[in-house]
Amino acid sequence: MTPWPAPHVTAPVRGTVAVPGSKSVTNRALLLAALSGGPASVAGAPPTRDTALMVDALRALGVPVEVDGERVVIGPHEGLRGGGTVDCGLAGTVMRFVPPAAALADGPVGFDGDPRARERPMGTVLGALRALGASVTGDALPFTLHGTGGLPGGDVVIDASASSQFVSGLLLSGAHYDKGVTVHHDGEPVPSLPHIAMTVDMLRAAGVEIDDAEPNTWRVLPGPIAARDWVVEPDLSNASVFLAAAAVTGGRVTVAGWPEHSTQPGVAILSVLDQFGCSVQPGPDGMTVTGPDALTGVDVDLHDVGELTPTIAAVAALARTPSRLRGIAHLRGHETDRLAALATEITELGGDVTETPDGLEIRPRSLRGRPDRPWGAYADHRMATAGALIGLVVHGVEIDDVGCTSKTIPDFPGRWAALLAGRAG
């Protein structure tokens, strides 16, 4: 494919941008709507690949789904059907959330995905489903889940240190298991705990009884999942790269519709940008970040907000003092090995990056574009947007696959160009 020339600016970026809805909230809401039996709806669902993959997964399970722009309607139905195949693409929320639901189907359900998805860890959730009474053929994509119309459920012990999605996936469907489900985590700390908090809050909003008072243990009681209409707030992790545009150019960017309270991990970008030296100010128009004259490096533990790492690493590469990003060894198992990818790509631009056992150390260097070698996206949406962020300041950066941003941001190149032109919306 033809590399995309990342726009380069010579003046501070100023503007207001509206970002699409949260893909994390959307795919949880879609699954809960399907498990409720309908009718239910999800408003503000972003028209992204991850959303489309979840919609198609539900259809493969016999759920009637209609999509009208950013509104998705789940029709009434009598339960999940087997006999279909689910394409997970590269969506972690599909490959980890849908199998526990498919265990309730009345027949076999096949699962497969993109080549990289076949390398992502799945043994934990599949082993958990076996322990809860499911029959599964395979330990990674592709695999087949042999549904029998229900699942005994009960207690299960897992090691969720590789992904919080292992916990969330079991919780989302657990109310429909005969005994509910109690998930005990035994291992290194679970990454991205705010995502589990999001799952718990949404289950409670759907009338599910859940107890998370005990550390590393989550209990979902058996019972109904209420049909309701969900409204999705803006994706704050996607918003981070737009706010960071202000940080790296000394500009001023407002993200419209920033929620007053949110369980999204992306909200943590505000405190990190503050540490870089930015001014962070909520207001009636949204959340505004103003960049400093020069960025100061940071030392931050990103264990709970690992998805922000590519954006933060890009900002750190443009700071005047060193940065240390910690607590993110689990990123080696994401869409790509994000630590190795970031170290490689920043180094190729002349940067000075060292991989540590649990993160990255980034030291200031003068960066330059490589006309002979585009920035590698690794089919990873956040790697692509990190390259675009660096390209604002470093002339001549090209991205080898900006199209992969469609995973979570519809028309990222157009939205990026609109912000830089001062007409984002």
Positions marked active-site: 307
**What are the phi and psi torsion angles at 220 (to 5°)?**
-110, 120
179: annotated binding-site residue? no
Alpha-carbon distances of 346 from 274, 306, 353, 356, 381, rounded to whole Å? 23, 18, 7, 15, 16
Work out the number of other CB atoms within 10 angstroms of the CB of residue 114: 17
163: annotated binding-site residue? yes
Looking at the chain, how many residues does it have?
Answer: 425
Q: Which two tokens stand for residue 362?
A: 């980034």
366: annotated binding-site residue? no
Contact at 8 Å (CB) between 40 and 180? Answer: no
Distance CA 11, CA 29 (A): 41
Sign of CA dihedral 332, 334, 339, 342: positive
338: annotated binding-site residue? yes
Contact at 8 Å (CB) between 145 and 127? Answer: no
Per DSSP, what are the bridge partners of residue 286? 283
307: annotated binding-site residue? yes
Distance CA 212, CA 170 (A): 14
Q: Which two tokens stand for residue 266?
A: 């992306």
192: annotated binding-site residue? yes
Nearest CA among 205, 247, 360 for reference residue 14: 247
334: annotated binding-site residue? yes
Reduced to 3 states (helix: H, G, I; strand: E, B; else coil), residue 40 is strand
Distance CA 16, CA 306 (A): 26
User: 309-316 vs 381-393: helix axis angle to the nearest 10?
Assistant: 20
23: annotated binding-site residue? yes
Contacts of residue 336, defined as CB under 8 A and 6 or more positions apart, other chains included, come to 116, 378, 379, 380, 383
28: annotated binding-site residue? yes
Q: Which two tokens stand for residue 186?
A: 């035994």
Contacts of residue 119, defined as CB under 8 A and 6 or more positions apart, other chains included, come to 140
Nearest CA among 242, 224, 287, 235 for reference residue 266: 235
Q: Is residue 422 classed exposed, middle or buried when 0-12, 13-18 and 19+ CB atoms within 10 A define those classes?
A: exposed
Annotated binding-site positions: 23-24, 28, 92, 120, 163-165, 192, 307, 334, 338, 382, 407
Annotated binding-site positions for 3-phosphoshikimate: 23-24, 28, 163-165, 192, 307, 334
Annotated binding-site positions for phosphoenolpyruvate: 23, 92, 120, 165, 338, 382, 407
